Structure 1
Amino acid sequence: MKWVSRRYATPRLAGYTCAVLLATILVAAAGASAPAYGQMSDEIRTNPAVDVRVSASTVSVQGPAASVFRGQIASVQLEDGNPAWIQSGIWVMRILQAGDESEPPRVQLVARFVMVMPDGNAMHSHSVYNFDVASSSVDEATSTHTFEGTATVTMRDGPVSGVPLTVTISNNAVMAMQIGPELIDSHFGTGPVYGVLSSASRELIERIDVGALHRNNTSSSEVRAEMVNYYANVSGYLVQPAEAEGKLPAVVVIHENRGLNDFVKGAAENLAKEGYVVLAADLYNGRVTDSQDEARMLSSEVRNNTGVALENLNAAVAYLAALDSVDGSRIASLGWCFGGGYSLQLALNADSPLAATVIYYGTPLVTDQQQLSSITWPVLGVFGSEDPAISVESVNQFKAALDANGTPNEIYVYEGVGHAFANPSNAGHAPEETADAWEKTLNFLGEHV
């Protein structure tokens, strides 16, 4: 399980890890051979204190799905020619392929790293996200890909948006981020923060025409939405990219205890804009409420007839799989609260294997290892440390059971937030944590679906 700080939502490295990284980075800065980087990469990948897991698994690149590149940050910030700060962490970049030659590619970037002085003092963390690309270019002669735009950067006093950012990938091996220096008082110096690509990313970038990503932008903000009958007399909200071609990945979205409302439909539309065909299922058969008492009554009705609910959700999966626009082997489920619980129940009772399961503070949370053993695909879990409905202990048990079963998983607990923190209508809504969790969700889906 990975704890995410409420203030920065960034990784934390143990003292031992920083000592190892300090040694390896300084050696590398002095001209060390490639194995020093490899040893450092292994240390970051396997250390449980790192917030985001760096996977060496291969990445599927089919049709208009995203291409995902990732790696480690390993950099030394110099002042007057001497090492002033050690920078170490991870980065993930998701490039959405599309078709409008007049626009740059859509890029999602999440970078998280610590900075520490060479004597071990003043350790702190930063995140870089919300990358808005204004232009991009490729020098095919040197295999250099450049993306320019602005991003949000977490600083001591909170996130700073609109910070100039240039990301360069050189020779399929090195990533460089030029952050600022405007708006952040040259906090990262005047040179780039450097990183390396993981072995899987190097293989991926060599197998695809990354230059085409700069020439073609197949992702579109335009979506087609309609209500469709997918089970008995029940209708769901189907949303898909307006102009996408070929077979797309898909997601069954499952609403909270208030029904298939505008919040859920908006989330479905956002996923469709990322290149997914999305069916927001309806377990209330058209009923929607703002009353918590009525919401409890409606959710109780469903839980008292779980068999019918599972037939409903399996029908949603089958409906998507039958669409000409969907790759039936790439369907995931995602739900919040009551819907998060049913996202898990669908995984436990699926008529056919899913590609991935996403659970936002799902209740009830099953922790029995034997019950969970039927899930063989990746699971993403998002929780709050102050959730009265789901204890941190039960989240620990959930992750331990998945680990014992060998089920790939990413489990995050956001410190200081409670239940339903991702819903803007909730009094406990946490915008920064919500944005971070959504980035994690998109990266997870981009890798596994």
Structure 2
Amino acid sequence: MVRGIAGAFLAGMMAGPLAADEAQTGDGQWWWDDGWWQEGQLNPDIENYEVEVERLEYERDDVIVPAMVARPADGEDYPAILWSHGRRGLDHLAELHVKRLAARGFVVLAPDLYTGRFIETHPLDHDYELEGDLDRGLDELLAREDILGDRACLVSITRGGYKTLKVAVTHERQVDDVACWAGYYPHVQDPNLGEPHQVYRYASEFNQLEIPVMILIGDEEQYQRHRTAKMAADGLKDRGGDVTWIEYPGVGRGFDFRNGDNRTFADDLAARDAMVRVTRFVNEHLRKE
């Protein structure tokens, strides 16, 4: 099991993101890389940047939304990412993920969608106003003078997947303002719907995505989350959508957020590989502009 995960990570340092539903063995799989296997080449094109963090606020409908912006500290311009947290909010672990993204060479704006609306962490119900607050954050990001181009990519974790989906589709920001969508084990159903919808359906908005999509998930993710995300990915792909599905064998829920005694070697390998793949995915769609 560990050998399979390690192969995925090492290949991830070189291989481009390719979706595959076949067995996770042999060349030709999404994790395979000839450069590593034949020549020993490992991670030659992923740079590390020192990160600086800025705190700001923006307003929507008389609500003040705090946000953090993480970016390379060298003063140069970089591609833009709008990042959305899940139920846990923009806590310490979430901020670490934002900084890890910025260290890959991005300007990442991550709103704290709960504080301005006095929502406690880990809410059960979803407040639809948060989607509008996140959409307003996209305006704030695209107005910055330190980003490359005039579009951003959306990257999210868990329930943030639903919020970014609504920004792209319901708020009509895809294509013109948003170039791609990436979700770590994303929730792609309205959280306020009942159990049958959570297990057997996904948000119809997903079928309306017109931009490239990447989903990164462990094969031991919660059943309802994994099933719904896979149905959404397959449905969009069947409609001709550009979908990359990355599934890590032996990896469970929250692999990029477990810390301390809860973190495993497999979690760390998956998290590093996922960061490389998201980096390449975003650069592919923003640096070409």
The answer to whether the superposition gives a TM-score over 0.5 is yes
Instruction: Report the alpha carbon displacement of residue 90 of structure 1 after superposing the two structures with TM.
Output: 8.1
Hey, what does 1:234 align to over in structure 2? 65
Hey, what does 1:388 align to over in structure 2? 222
Hey, what does 1:42 align to over in structure 2? none
Q: SS state of the match for residue 221, structure 1?
A: coil
Distance 1:390 1:434, change over 3 A: farther
Residue number among 128, 131, 134 corresponding to 1:310 in the alignment:
131
Hey, what does 1:333 align to over in structure 2? 154
Distance 1:224 1:436, change over 3 A: closer
Instruction: Report the alpha carbon displacement of residue 328 of structure 1 after superposing the two structures with TM.
Output: 5.3
| Deviations 1:55-76, CA, capped at 9 Å, x for gaps | xxxxxxxxxxxxxxxxxxxxxx
After superposition, residues 106-185 of structure 1 pair within 5 angstroms as: 112-113=32-33, 128=36, 177-178=39-40
Q: SS state of the match for residue 8, structure 1?
A: helix
Hey, what does 1:400 align to over in structure 2? 234
Distance 1:251 1:414, change over 3 A: same
Instruction: Report the alpha carbon displacement of residue 372 of structure 1 after superposing the two structures with TM.
Output: 2.2
After superposition, residues 10-409 of structure 1 pair within 5 angstroms as: 49=22, 88-89=27-28, 112-113=32-33, 128=36, 177-178=39-40, 221-231=49-59, 232-246=63-77, 248-285=78-115, 295-296=121-122, 298-300=123-125, 303=126, 305-306=127-128, 308-327=129-148, 329-353=150-174, 354-365=178-189, 368=202, 370-388=204-222, 390-409=224-243
Aligned mates of 2:166, 2:21 — CA distance in 1: 28
Over alpha carbons, which structure has the higher Rg? 1
Aligned mates of 2:105, 2:213 — CA distance in 1: 20
Hey, what does 2:13 align to over in structure 1? none
Aligned mates of 1:288, 1:425 — CA distance in 2: 27
| Deviations 1:71-97, CA, capped at 9 Å, x for gaps | xxxxxxxxxxxxxxxx95589xxxxxx
The answer (yes or no) to whether the contact 1:369–1:402 under 8 Å persists in 2 is no
Hey, what does 1:31 align to over in structure 2? none
Instruction: Report the alpha carbon displacement of residue 329 of structure 1 after superposing the two structures with TM.
Output: 3.3
Aligned mates of 2:138, 2:110 — CA distance in 1: 11
Distance 1:90 1:395, change over 3 A: closer
Instruction: Report the alpha carbon displacement of residue 411 of structure 1 after superposing the two structures with TM.
Output: 1.0
Higher helix share: 2
The answer (yes or no) to whether the contact 1:255–1:264 under 8 Å persists in 2 is yes
Instruction: Report the alpha carbon displacement of residue 439 of structure 1 after superposing the two structures with TM.
Output: 1.8
| Deviations 1:405-447, CA, capped at 9 Å, x for gaps | 3221111222232221221338365112222222221121121
Aligned mates of 1:47, 1:389 — CA distance in 2: 20
The answer (yes or no) to whether the contact 2:48–2:103 under 8 Å persists in 1 is yes
Aligned mates of 2:124, 2:150 — CA distance in 1: 30
The answer (yes or no) to whether the contact 1:337–1:360 under 8 Å persists in 2 is yes
Aligned mates of 2:179, 2:144 — CA distance in 1: 17
Hey, what does 1:197 align to over in structure 2? none
1:431 matches 2:261: no
Aligned mates of 1:418, 1:439 — CA distance in 2: 19
The answer (yes or no) to whether the contact 1:357–1:380 under 8 Å persists in 2 is yes
Distance 1:337 1:396, change over 3 A: closer
| Deviations 1:382-412, CA, capped at 9 Å, x for gaps | 1222222535443331122111232211112
Q: SS state of the match for residue 434, structure 1?
A: helix
Instruction: Report the alpha carbon displacement of residue 311 of structure 1 after superposing the two structures with TM.
Output: 1.0
Percent sequence identity over aligned pairs: 23
Instruction: Report the alpha carbon displacement of residue 287 of structure 1 after superposing the two structures with TM.
Output: 9.3
Gaps of 5+ in 1: 12-44, 52-86, 92-110, 115-126, 129-152, 154-175, 181-213
Instruction: Report the alpha carbon displacement of residue 50 of structure 1 after superposing the two structures with TM.
Output: 8.8
Aligned mates of 1:361, 1:48 — CA distance in 2: 17
TM-score by length of 2: 0.73
Gaps of 5+ in 2: 11-17, 191-200
Q: SS state of the match for residue 226, structure 1?
A: strand
The answer (yes or no) to whether the contact 1:255–1:338 under 8 Å persists in 2 is yes
Distance 1:266 1:359, change over 3 A: same
Hey, what does 1:122 align to over in structure 2? none
May I ask how many residue pairs the two structures share in their alignment? 256
The answer (yes or no) to whether the contact 1:259–1:288 under 8 Å persists in 2 is no
Please say which of residues 381-390 and 400-409 is displaced more in the overlay. Answer: 381-390
